[in-house]
Amino acid sequence: MHTERSSESDGSTASRRGFLRTAAGAATAGVAAGAAGTATAQEGTESGGPTFDGWLSDTSNYDGEVVDETGQDSITIGVGGDNELVFDPPAVRVDPGTTITWEWQGGRHNVVGENREFSSGDPTDEMGATYEQTFEEEGVVKYLCEPHVGVMQGVVVVGDVELGAGGAGGEGGDHGGGKLVLTDGLLAMGVALVLGVISPILFALHLSRNSDKLGGGGNSGDGELKRIDS
């Protein structure tokens, strides 16, 4: 005489294993996508130039180059060139006492210091409008466009300031230059973590709703054993 599992028990085991395999696969795929997305985002910032503590990390026209304008009495920086959300160039180096002129070239923008130490006023879309500032002290001056903060930002390096590849220039101001950017990779990792937490709950509900089909409630999950005469 021997025993064998009932078909109901086999169905329960297969269903349970299939559910767990699906949940685990989804979580693994999410983590893998998150890691790949994070790696891509990191590679995109490896320009070799200064990052200014992330101030220009989302500035579309910054490639790591700080344009050398030393030796000039005055320079011009475009504001919203070709209706894009950029200052052009986004990063420049000048001598102390150089006059910086921002000239509006398209779009509704303004120019505001990181800590509001200077401001062109309310945003305007007047083509050809200008705003001037002269910086006498050496240092790194960060500025932005208020309607497009986080994306449309710029830097003026005044004087012989040493710039490392990792970043330079002061603490984050009122506008939060060092911000957390939600990339696709981070979002995928978050989804994977949520799946890992809720999968056991969903599986418990799955068993509860189908207990009558999977061997009855109160059963340990092994299913009924049928007696078969040899």
Residues making up the annotated binding site for Cu cation are: 109, 145, 148, 152
Q: 146 — alpha (psi -120 to 50), left (phi > 0) or beta? A: alpha
The answer to whether residues 155 and 52 touch, using CB atoms and an 8 Å cutoff, is yes
Annotation: binding site: 109, 145, 148, 152
What's the CA dihedral at 142, 146, 147, 153 to 10 degrees? 0
The answer to whether residues 130 and 144 touch, using CB atoms and an 8 Å cutoff, is no
Which two tokens mark 210?
Answer: 């189908």
Q: Which residue has the tokens 């089909």?
A: 213
